[in-house]
Structure 1
Amino acid sequence: MNYGGDAAGLICGYLLAANTAPREVDTVQAAQWLANIPSGAAPQGQFLWLHFNLSHAQAVRWMERHADLPEAFFDALKDRSVSTRIERDDDTLIAVLNDAHFDFAFEPSDIATLWTSVAPHLMVTGRTHPLRSVDALRTAVRSGNAPCSSVALLAELMRTQASGLVDIVRGVTQRIDDVEDALLAGRLDHKRARLGVLRRLLVRLQRLLAPEPAALFRLLQHPPAWMGSDDAQELRDSTEEFSVVLRDMQGLQERIKLLQEEIAASVQEANSRSLFVLTVVTVLALPINILAGLFGMNVGGVPLADNGHGFWIIVAVVAAFTAVAGWLALRDTRDQ
């Protein structure tokens, strides 16, 4: 299968079961398997995972025709809602998750949405952009590390997503360390702007992901009847991992904020020094400018015009006034 999906937009499909190697299926095999099972029942503990490219025009049509998904899932797809949530619709779990792009480049726009439907016999995921966590889960399933239930697969997806966020937090931490080292060395250059980008990235990630643990906790208070205690515990564990990562992200935001304040103070201090130097130069040049303007007027009666020592007298007067002006400008600095 190609990366963008087959004729129905299916990127990958696997038939999974406990103690059985995953079997890759296409849309024809998936449709036959779904048509042959009773509604809500998984034969011999089997379940199907189908991952679709929602940019493909046929993806939603195939799901409507063969997957028997609840209307709430299709409503979420039509609304293109990106607000993170996990909720029940009868015996089906509907999840809207957010994740980093496959080619994540630490930009706030490198985040996309994954729509998920989880039933006892079927898990359907759909996205419009390639996502890191789903690709990592797909690689793990292909290598044989497959969970034994659809809820366990959802929990594994959550853990993979949390691991990806840990990598993002590490990358952001490294970049913040670089900016901090440049600040201590007095070499800010263009890295000041990167702090703003990183902070916007963390704020966007936290805004999109923060509701996720709370939504899971609410779900676990009233889980579906078919969800086993082991599956519920796996979801609870994945939620705790998410909470830890979110706390780390909040700490990074505070660190970036402190760095931005320190950089702003440093820039303000440099601007103040430049303004002070400019003020001193202006004050020192004021006496000579005034005298040059007065003696440069083309009128009669200019003092010392016929005096042989007039030039040196004017130089002495200018020097005296300049010294007085310099003393007045610099005395506050000496007091400090």
Structure 2
Amino acid sequence: MPEGLISGLLLNGANAGQTVTLAQAKNWQPQQGLLWLHFDYKHKKSAHWLTQLCQLPKLESEALLMQDTRPRVVRAGTGWLLALRGINLNPQAAPEDMVSIRLYMDEQRIISTCSRQLFSIQALQQAIMAGDGPQSSGEFLLSLCEQLTSRHIDFIDQLEDRLAQLEEQSLSAPRATLQNNVAALRRQSVSVRRYLAPQREAYIKLLSDGFTLFDAPQKRIFSEVSNTLIRGIEDLDAIRDRAMVTQEELLNRQTEALNQRLYFLALISAIFLPLSFLTGLLGVNITGIPGADNPWAFVIFCGFLLLLVGGQLWLFYRFRWL
């Protein structure tokens, strides 16, 4: 990656689909075609290129270099500043640790920054180099949002499938394992919704009359993309609620099982309490213990204890304690 530039491409014009180096970007003119420069915002040279090469004002440059962002759309001079989030599909990464992409867009150029690999950006780059990519800033943003939303919905569908499996396993699998899995799934849904909710608001703002990069057909298509995201957020809410119900059900079953064990122990204690009293009383080593000189005393005493246990069990059954 030379000097913080991840990729540079021309989206339309005679050289559409061709890559652009930093040296070529320095001499770029709007008549050559729509320019897209994609930087790594963590690279130490990126700030220099944003201000010197791209000639962005300080406010826009700082917005593209921010470490932590939440999805938003704001007007910036003749262009627009956007921050969007995509599912993290990188190897060994948590999908809910969403990747942020920041963009500055106007009619002649697109400048984006990102630090981690985002598959939606890769798909756009491949389509552009294959000659099948977007031809305008509005089309670029529409394609990017379609890519992001499609992967959001795929991940939400995976969460729904996992939750359905956990609900089925709740009848047979160990409760401790299930509780951990359900809790992890619930945390994922909450983490993803944390970013998708403001992204929904950003999509709604993009549909407003003030956003000038979309034409009428693109706005109609983007309306469907926005509705898809809204349905995905509603599904996330349903997943969160279902996971909560599943957790409560597992907790109730665990509490019920504990109560049954405690009840059984209480019955055992109730049975052996009088037996312990009698055996302790007759076990006192003093003169006058009844039956001390009778060879049948022990047998008679054991028989009495058996009758006592039988009487207790009959009473427990009669009072429906068993």
TM-score by length of 1: 0.85
Would the alpha carbon gap of residues 135 and 329 (structure 1) be closer, same or farther in structure 2, given more than 3 Å must change?
farther
Question: What's 2:81 paired with?
Answer: 94
Give the one of 176, 195, 203 matched to 1:216. Answer: 203
Give the one of 9, 19, 22 matched to 1:24. Answer: 19
Runs of 4+ in 1 over 6 A off after TM superposition: none
What amino acid sits opposite 1:249 in the alignment?
A: L
Q: How does 1:127-206 map to 2 (within 5 A)?
A: 127-185=114-172, 188=175, 190-206=177-193
SS for the counterpart of 2:294 is: coil
Q: CA deviation at 1:158?
A: 0.7
Would the alpha carbon gap of residues 189 and 106 (structure 1) be closer, same or farther in structure 2, given more than 3 Å must change?
farther
Give the one of 3, 7, 10 matched to 2:2. Answer: 7
Question: Are the counterparts in 2 of residues 31 and 66 from structure 1 also a CA contact under 8 Å?
Answer: yes
Q: CA deviation at 1:149?
A: 0.8
Question: What's 1:312 paired with?
Answer: 299
C-alpha distance in 1 between matches for 2:277 and 2:87? 66
What amino acid sits opposite 1:14 in the alignment?
A: L
Which 5+ residue runs of structure 1 have no aligned equivalent?
Answer: 1-5
Would the alpha carbon gap of residues 134 and 297 (structure 1) be closer, same or farther in structure 2, given more than 3 Å must change?
farther
Would the alpha carbon gap of residues 224 and 266 (structure 1) be closer, same or farther in structure 2, given more than 3 Å must change?
closer
C-alpha distance in 2 between matches for 1:312 and 1:227? 99
Moved more, 275-284 or 326-335: 326-335
Residues 243-291 of structure 1: per-residue CA shift (max 9 Å, x gap): 2222222222222222222222222222222222222222223233223
Question: What's 2:47 paired with?
Answer: 60
C-alpha distance in 1 between matches for 2:321 and 2:111? 74
Would the alpha carbon gap of residues 271 and 10 (structure 1) be closer, same or farther in structure 2, given more than 3 Å must change?
same
SS for the counterpart of 2:2 is: coil
SS for the counterpart of 2:18 is: strand
Q: CA deviation at 1:147?
A: 0.8
What amino acid sits opposite 1:10 in the alignment?
A: L
Q: CA deviation at 1:210?
A: 1.0
Residues 190-244 of structure 1: per-residue CA shift (max 9 Å, x gap): 1321111111111111121112232232343242556533444444333222222
Q: CA deviation at 1:9?
A: 1.6
Would the alpha carbon gap of residues 213 and 198 (structure 1) be closer, same or farther in structure 2, given more than 3 Å must change?
same
Question: Are the counterparts in 2 of residues 98 and 114 from structure 1 also a CA contact under 8 Å?
Answer: yes
Q: How does 1:179-328 map to 2 (within 5 A)?
A: 179-185=166-172, 188=175, 190-225=177-212, 227-328=214-315
Residues 148-177 of structure 1: per-residue CA shift (max 9 Å, x gap): 111211111111011101110121122112
SS for the counterpart of 1:49 is: strand
Moved more, 62-71 or 217-226: 217-226
Question: Are the counterparts in 2 of residues 203 and 253 from structure 1 also a CA contact under 8 Å?
Answer: yes
Question: Are the counterparts in 2 of residues 88 and 219 from structure 1 also a CA contact under 8 Å?
Answer: no
Moved more, 215-224 or 95-104: 215-224
What amino acid sits opposite 1:309 in the alignment?
A: W
Structural RMSD (CA): 2.7
TM-score by length of 2: 0.88
C-alpha distance in 1 between matches for 2:169 and 2:297? 56
Identical-pair percentage:
25
Give the one of 34, 38, 43 matched to 2:31. Answer: 43
C-alpha distance in 2 between matches for 1:328 and 1:73? 83
Q: CA deviation at 1:333?
A: 4.2
Moved more, 156-165 or 186-195: 186-195
Question: Are the counterparts in 2 of residues 179 and 192 from structure 1 also a CA contact under 8 Å?
Answer: no
Would the alpha carbon gap of residues 93 and 127 (structure 1) be closer, same or farther in structure 2, given more than 3 Å must change?
same
Q: CA deviation at 1:11?
A: 1.6
Would the alpha carbon gap of residues 330 and 155 (structure 1) be closer, same or farther in structure 2, given more than 3 Å must change?
farther
Q: CA deviation at 1:18?
A: 6.2
Question: Are the counterparts in 2 of residues 152 and 234 from structure 1 also a CA contact under 8 Å?
Answer: no
What amino acid sits opposite 2:44 in the alignment?
A: A
Question: Are the counterparts in 1 of residues 35 and 108 from structure 2 also a CA contact under 8 Å?
Answer: yes
Which 5+ residue runs of structure 2 have no aligned equivalent?
Answer: none
Question: What's 1:3 paired with?
Answer: none
